[in-house]
Amino acid sequence: MCTLSWLYHGNNHYEVYFNRDEQRSRLPALEPQNMMIDGVHCVMPIDPVGGGSWISTNEHGVTVCLLNYYQGETPKGALISRGLIVKRLASSSSSHNLDLRLMEMTLDRFAPFTVVSFDTRRTANETVAWTWDGQRLSRSRACAPMVSAAMHFEQASQYRLNLFNELVVTTPSNDVGRLFHQTHDAHFPHLSPLMERDDARTVSFTSVIVSSTKQEMSYRSVDDDRTIDFQGYQRWLRSPIAEQGVFK
């Protein structure tokens, strides 16, 4: 399972939160790395298994998130890591530009996934989810929170939606994302945003804050006791919107 949520504060400030859940046997990820893609400054944690990522943000204020879509049909043949899609889209100059890039990609060697992007040119109501189900790519309106799960999908989705909605009306907006993603219910550990099962658990919590003047990515690695064993930050000032480069 993985969990994605976000909040917009007006039209020039948004926050994105992502819990990454993985098998206990999977190698730990690398903390957020600075890299230049198409001449654009991008930051993302790296999965050492596939070499890709599940979340990135760039100097244009564009954040890209990817969740596995287990309800789709996996194409036959050799597959490419889905995390490399994030790398291919990471330098997009806007969410609209990302949409165009994604629609031009050949996807038949990727297992099913959902991509959601954020920038300060779209409002919360304009947030888009692109889902590749293994056969076709479709577009829909994205609503927080989003859940990716191979097991207990319906139950986990409903549990987390109820929790998120409760926090939205009872908690200051600046605290909603952090409290939601750090919630662990001992009675329902497999449904909680901070998830725990015998075979899998939440391994990291990543947040991105983008405003008209700054960007910040915070990454926290979570150990077996659900405590932080590593955390890192990347902060920088936003640059003006530039012409899009060409992905090589």
- How far apart are the C-alpha atoms of 40 and 58, rounded to whole Å? 7
Which pair of structure tokens corresponds to residue 7?
């909040």
pLDDT of residue 128: 96
pTM value surpassing 0.85: yes
pLDDT of residue 242: 36
Closest CA to 143 of 127, 131, 154, 155: 127
Which pair of structure tokens corresponds to residue 238?
């936003």
* pLDDT(241) > 80: no
> Is 90 within 8 Å of 58 (Cβ atoms)?
yes
- How far apart are the C-alpha atoms of 1 and 149, rounded to whole Å? 4
How does the average pLDDT of the chain come out, rounded? Answer: 90
Lowest mean pLDDT among 42-56, 155-169, 208-222: 208-222
pLDDT of residue 247: 27
* pLDDT(236) > 70: no
pLDDT of residue 222: 83
- Which domains does the chain carry? 2-151+200-236 (3.60.60.10)
**Residues 24-36 pLDDT 10s:** 888 888 999 999 9
* pLDDT(248) > 80: no
